[in-house]
Amino acid sequence: MKIEKPIESHKRYVIADIHGCFYTFKQLLERINLQKEDQLFLLGDYIDRGLFSDKVLDYIINLKALNYNVFALRGNHENNIINASKEYDNKTFQFFVKKMNKSTNLLTPEGFLKPKYFEFFNSLPYFFELDKFYLVHAGFNRKIANPLFDFSAMLELKNKSDYFHLLNGKQVIIGHNVHYLNEIIKAINENYAKIPLDNGCVYTQKHKFYDTSQTGNLLCLNLDTFELTIQKNIDIDYE
């Protein structure tokens, strides 16, 4: 899906991996002072891990209803939950959502995925093509002739270091893989071919893999100035 740049005075922002951190997301949007004419790109994984997946989704759906230019991509978490809702029997599905996802607030009292969320997830595209950028949840499979056809790579790609060249002349902006803040800032400042934006917003406490002094923020990149707004997780105050 190709998206044209807005006129000069309007801004373009990208936010990745909100993962249920509603209050942090809202605070970040207030700090950038998002206007209706701006473009806001979201890189997927709105749900799970944090406690407020439903509030995040309702907020995004409402911004769209109010005619904000919100462009939301599909993450593996959205893809997994719609697949599970189609493939599993209801008991297994509820178990999956409860145990794996902590997102029981996405379900009806009968244990089905609420139709408004199913519709939203089902509508999400896999990538956006902009003037100078591709935006995608996890990345592109650069080993095949046309990376724009490998949809599972777009959702799941784990490899942290396989892009040193632009894709069709464009920079690629990704979420999905947690990167430390200093790595992200370096990629932005040095204009890397691939810019990661997932700083592991939910990882605020001591963690077995991550140095949490370098994680725990939700980030917003201005695509035209490359200014980065760093919002510390405030959802922990609401849990």
Answer whether 194's CB lies under 8 Å from 170's CB. no
Nearest Cα to Cα of residue 173 among 131, 203, 137, 207: 137
Instruction: Specify the residue, 55 or 77, whose C-beta has the smaller distance to Mn ion.
Output: 77
Q: Which is nearer to Mn ion, 76 or 199 (CB)?
A: 76
For residue 226, count other CB atoms closer than 10 A to its CB: 11
Residue whose CB is less far from Mn ion, 34 or 178: 178
Residue with tokens 């100035």: 225
Rounded to a whole number of angstroms, the minimum distance from the CB of residue 45 to Mn ion is 4
- Closest residue to Mn ion in the complex (CB): 176
Minimum distance from residue 175 beta carbon to Mn ion (Å) = 6
Distance in Å, CB of 7 to Mn ion, minimum: 33
| Residues near Mn ion (CB under 5 A) | 45, 75-76, 176
Nearer to Mn ion, 45 or 150 (CB): 45
Question: What three-state secondary structure class fits 35?
Answer: coil
Based on CB atoms, which residue is closest to Mn ion, 73 or 228? Answer: 73
Closest CA to 222 of 51, 34, 3: 34
Least distance from Mn ion to the Cβ atom of residue 66, Å: 27
CB of 37 to Mn ion, least distance (A): 29
Q: Which of 78, 81, 85, 82 is nearest to 60 (CA)?
A: 78
**Distance between CA atoms of 173 and 152, rounded to whole angstroms?**
17
Supply the minimum distance, in Å, between the C-beta of residue 184 and Mn ion: 16
> From CA 156, how far away is CA 159, in angstroms rounded?
9
Closer CB to Mn ion, 41 or 69, in the complex: 41
E-strand spans in 50-122?
69-72
